[in-house]
Structure 1
Amino acid sequence: MAAKDLVESTISENKITIFSKTYCPYCRRAKTLLTSKFPNVETKIFELDEMNEGSEIQDYLLEKTGQRTVPNIFINQKHVGGCDAVVGLDSKGQLAQLVEANSPSTSKL
């Protein structure tokens, strides 16, 4: 239950949430893309390989999204997918629209 609560609260409180592993090249690419293109956007990154509950979080992400692999990325509470999905959205010019869209939880900004 703790993993579920952590995932859900983090997704709702941040514009961008990335579930990652420190050694993953796809994670590194996605994190670099998102943090360099949107440096002023609230981004929360969890390095699951450095967390005691990392495996439980991945299990919950599988249940929630059907994806257990990392990176597992949410933008404005919407599950986007992994690195290829983010790069694809960026190349189509759709990533900025998604990041800049207002979400219910960002009304506090």
Structure 2
Amino acid sequence: MAAAQKVQQLIDDNAVVVFSKSYCPYCRSTKRTLDDLGAKYYVIELDQEDDGSEIQDALAKISGQRTVPNIYIGKEHIGGNSDLEARKNKDLKNLLKNAGAIA
């Protein structure tokens, strides 16, 4: 229960949240995409958190996605890296702007 509350708090308190693992190449790609757009975002590296596996279990229940990266923009579940990349040339900039992650 505490992990689910922590996840929801992170989603509610941040314009963009990336649930990540430090060694994951797809997570690195997501962070690079957000960096390239100048987005402000919060990253939580699940492999470096004591409750990382509990957080990952909570994410699976909340979003239906267990894999990382697990991305939220403006409290909306975006999906993973391929979902983020698919939106890059469509509505990603507007989504980030509307969430307050970019000027």
Structure 2 length-normalised TM? 0.91
Task: Name the CA distance, whole Å, in 2 between partners of 1:35 and 1:19.
Answer: 15
Q: Deviations over 1:14-60 (max 9, x none)?
A: 11000000110000000111123124x3x110000011100000100
3-state SS of paired residue (1:17): strand
Partner residue of 1:69?
67
Partner residue of 2:8?
8
C-alpha deviation, 1:102, in angstroms? 4.7
Contact preservation (8 Å) 2:16, 2:99: no
Which contiguous aligned blocks of 4+ residues in structure 1 show a shift greater than 4 angstroms? none
After superposition, where does 1:34-73 map in structure 2 within 5 Å?
34-39=34-39, 41=40, 43-73=41-71
User: Of the candidates 74, 85, 89, which is equivalent to residue 87 of structure 2?
Assistant: 89
Partner residue of 2:32?
32
Partner residue of 2:78?
80
What amino acid does structure 2 have at the position aligned with 1:21? K
Q: How many residues align?
A: 101
Query: Among the aligned pairs, what percent are the same residue?
Result: 42
* Structure 1: gaps of 5 or more residues: none
